[in-house]
Structure 1
């Protein structure tokens, strides 16, 4: 692997991917970021097996490949580099990576890229699309009502439903309820209702700040994928039946 990119671009990519790094795990690989070459750039992926972030950044690819590097060390190094071109280089099949920027050179030992957990494929499973800023606002207007009671896991996330030309975000802790709904630009072909963990929604809000355009929603096994240009967020879903919240909403007012 041999790529060159700007320090600013690399820092942003590492910071975004690091949001999914596990701080408490018995699997060392979950503390690492997978770097791999893609067409016209480099892809950074991190996961804690419940939540994953995948970021594509612009880079000049001189030789393809993939490596995993410890997230904390990588963030510290690239965050302190000068604003200049950064070269990331490793020999084929090697876990040793050399990072060079201006007069600075660092060597980092990674883990085998083949040990990194594979993310589910969501090809052909798209369920809808909506504006990134609107989705961010909807999450922010409902997330506050999520329950912190782990004995009722089905209340610890935001209930997202897509049906026809409408999408809804609902959250409740049993004492309060927040509901936000809006029209979809294109009606969905299938009715979907899933409970997305609060952590995912919090990170989604942060990641979508400044993102323009549409976010595609797709199912992948028991996970929901949020995909924007250059950014993908995967989340496992919470099992269980969300309460029939519509029963407690007044149908008319006097």
Structure 2
């Protein structure tokens, strides 16, 4: 096997595939990276049995030659060394030659490395995901849905199902929901041109975080396919496969209040900045709690008190306040996360009392919803 490849293309693919390779895997060959060379191009594969990533480099694309001098073959290379070698090679082209004994010679300019490779025969085959149950959507939209929900997954392994994002597709409406039982993030988007329905799948938050980093903004759409225990995200040059979490996701719709006693419309950035400042003195062991008080004159007081350190008081003017005056305490971290995820200039916050969950939505857009449970401070 041999091939000559553009180094920058190889580096980009290697970095993508490395996101699926773990040194802690129980299958020794999965600590390596599989390289498959065919006349039409080179495919790199990494897997930790939770997620698997395939990155494809075409031999030619739009009249540009990326791979040449191709002799077909497959090899598994040690992922501990190969990425660093590629990154530090001196020239724009890399020549890789593999002999019968899986000895690998990597040459670039006057630099030559010799590595011991492994036969790819033992490398597990990735499961084939049926593409009948699949739909397409714009990459930028998928990335924004991940960003607006994945931060709210649980980091506690006590309820594994909550460490994932619940994905549902019904009546051409795609819904992402994440909760750690103290807060909830939800995003809905219409998906046209498909009759596919996905009852409920839960994708590990870790997988979606890696997918978010790896998806290339320059490509336009991603195809999503689901089977019993796997989900596949496919673009022109990338296959990203993740296992699904087992179990029933809790019914979250009943958590969302259907009425409110106090409604506040306010600009996102000033509110976010004042909560960030108030959180500087919020005590760690009390969940970074800040107090939030609304007055008749449209001014909101945000305060935090830590007996050993000191206290802070802030005032923010709301654009509109309707309903009862309110005193409520909540985790500043949860509020900061929610406001950052919304990405709109103005939000509406709906409260139903000091000890009831409250919701935050962009003004005139209820497709993005953040819900936070308050904290008792008395």
* Cα 1:83/1:182, change in 2 over 3 Å: farther
User: SS of the residue aligned with 1:78?
Assistant: helix
Mind listing any 5+ residue stretches in structure 2 that lack a counterpart?
A: 59-66, 262-378
Contact kept? 1:125, 1:220, Cα under 8 Å: no
Of 233, 240, 244, 1:233 maps to 240
Is residue 27 of structure 1 aligned with residue 35 of structure 2? Answer: no
2:201: which partner in 1? 194
Once the two structures are superposed, residues 112-141 of structure 1 have per-residue CA deviations (whole angstroms, 9 ceiling, x without a partner) of 101111101124334211111110111011
2:120: which partner in 1? 113
CA distance, structure 2, for counterparts of residue 77 and residue 220 of structure 1: 37
2:172: which partner in 1? 165
Mind listing any 5+ residue stretches in structure 1 that lack a counterpart?
A: none
Q: Which has the higher contact order (CA 8 A, sep 6+)?
A: 1
1:187 is displaced (CA, Å) by: 2.4
1:208: which partner in 2? 215
TM-score by length of 2: 0.64
* Cα 1:221/1:37, change in 2 over 3 Å: farther
CA distance, structure 2, for counterparts of residue 130 and residue 157 of structure 1: 21
Contact kept? 1:158, 1:197, Cα under 8 Å: yes
2:48: which partner in 1? 48
Once the two structures are superposed, residues 46-99 of structure 1 have per-residue CA deviations (whole angstroms, 9 ceiling, x without a partner) of 0001111110013225211100001121011100012421111113x5321111
2:250: which partner in 1? 243
TM-score by length of 1: 0.94
CA distance, structure 2, for counterparts of residue 200 and residue 84 of structure 1: 32
Supply the RMSD in Å over aligned alpha carbons: 1.6
Contact kept? 1:130, 1:215, Cα under 8 Å: yes
1:103 is displaced (CA, Å) by: 1.3
Contact kept? 2:169, 2:196, Cα under 8 Å: no
Is residue 133 of structure 1 aligned with residue 140 of structure 2? Answer: yes
2:72: which partner in 1? 64
Larger of the two Rg values belongs to structure: 2
